[in-house]
Amino acid sequence: MDPKRLQKYSNVTRTTRKDFINIHPIQAAGKLTPEAKKALEEFGDGYSICDMCLEGRLDMINKPPIHEFLEDMAIFLGMDDVRPTAGSRMAMNIIFKVIANPGDIVVIDSLAHYTTYLAAEDNKVKVTEVPHNGHPQFKLNLEAYAKKIEDVKAKTGKLPPFVVLTHVDYNYGNVNAIKIVAKICKDYNVPLVVNGAYSVGVMPIKGKEVGADFLIGSGHKSMAASGPIGVIGTTSEWVKKIFSTSTIKGDWSSRQFLQKEYHFYGCPPVYGAPIATLMASFPRVVERTKPENWDEEIKKIRYFVTEMERIEDVKALGIRPKQHTLTQFETPSLYKASLKHKQKGYYLYKALKKNKVAGIFPGSSKHFKLNTYGLTWDEIKKVAGVFQKIAEENSIKIN
């Protein structure tokens, strides 16, 4: 191949610079800590985490202290045992594969991440959705889980193998009360899977305390880790089934792999940067999820919403007052301005970039998502001010 053609791959850079304020909805809580950046350099090479792998399995490595780290992670999650996965989507897929059978119907919330649907599809499982109340709240009717379970039983003659609740949805940042669904699940003796991709690592949550049988987290979304990495925590009841070890034996060679957990491909593919950065950021993640620190994040997003809604016709969607830093705004006034602007829908993205604010999807002006997690008060005020400034520059009233 032509070396000149290949040269562009050697100097890849981001459009988001280090001095930008990043409000990207899926990046805000995944920004690496200083400790993680150091670990990234140390363990960036392929299988570097496996230098001292004596047992043949990632979760058993003691140098670096992955085995001990996962024990602490289980405590942090409030679950009995935990494994890393190649993202929260892999964790969800494993649960569908292991617990459900093809043709089963699983109850999920109608705001579930798209990978929940794909996990079902990949394993030939059907889903039935718990509805929400639509615009502008998009609030789930959590009590409807009981009816949906009954519907599945009436249709199939058996209970669903499990139900899924998204703790914080990825469109509106609505926080759902896990205990309400957990009580329903307990009454029916149906396992509860909680997708905590946007909560584990940013806000307080203990899986068993709220009634979860499975708790899923995302390292690169919410735990200051390099991707892809997630975690799956479960109770002692499910440990052997989910973390099953291999029993296959070669019919000619007699080869066996008795240590390997086959649902995780022997070892989950997170060796190197993902597991090293997750581990390096962990002390700060534990600290930042203390209630008083999360409360401060909520104060910031509520202030930010108030300032954004001073812009004419701008409205935050979802349940109010805000309980999470991920927010979607409906912005018809900014959209109307785009129709007259020479850069059309891209004017907002470019104006924000000019003011060193990144994270809004290019071309978005009618509505967009953002996440203020981890911003200082000065940064919160600056970003709000930038949006107001852009509005004024486009003849939009500030109240």
Same fold, 15-30+290-393 and 45-288: no
Lowest mean pLDDT among 156-160, 163-167, 267-271: 267-271
In sequence order, the β-bridge partners of residue 358 are 22
Q: Where are the domains of the chain?
A: 15-30+290-393, 45-288
Angular region, 125: left φ>0, alpha ψ -120 to 50, beta rest: beta
**Per-residue pLDDT averaged across 302-312, rounded?**
99
DSSP H helical segments within the chain, as ranges?
A: 3-6, 34-42, 66-77, 88-99, 114-122, 144-156, 178-188, 207-210, 219-222, 236-242, 273-288, 291-308, 332-340, 347-354, 377-393
Number of H helices, E strands in the chain: 15, 12
Are 128 and 105 in contact by the 8 Å Cβ rule? The answer is yes
**Per-residue pLDDT averaged across 247-271, rounded?**
97
* Fold of the CATH domain 45-288: Aspartate Aminotransferase; domain 2 (3.40.640)
- For residue 16, pLDDT beyond 90: no
What are the angstrom distances between the C-alpha of 30 and each of 4, 199, 285, 359, 360? 34, 12, 10, 13, 16
User: Dihedral of the CA atoms 299, 303, 308, 309 (nearest 10)?
Assistant: 100
Nearest Cα residue to 191 out of 220, 156, 164, 219? 164
pLDDT digits (tens, 9 = 90+) for 172-229: 999 999 999 999 999 999 999 999 999 999 999 999 999 999 999 999 999 999 989 9
CATH of domain 15-30+290-393: 3.90.1150.10
pLDDT digits (tens, 9 = 90+) for 339-398: 999 898 899 999 999 999 999 999 999 999 999 999 999 999 999 999 999 999 999 999
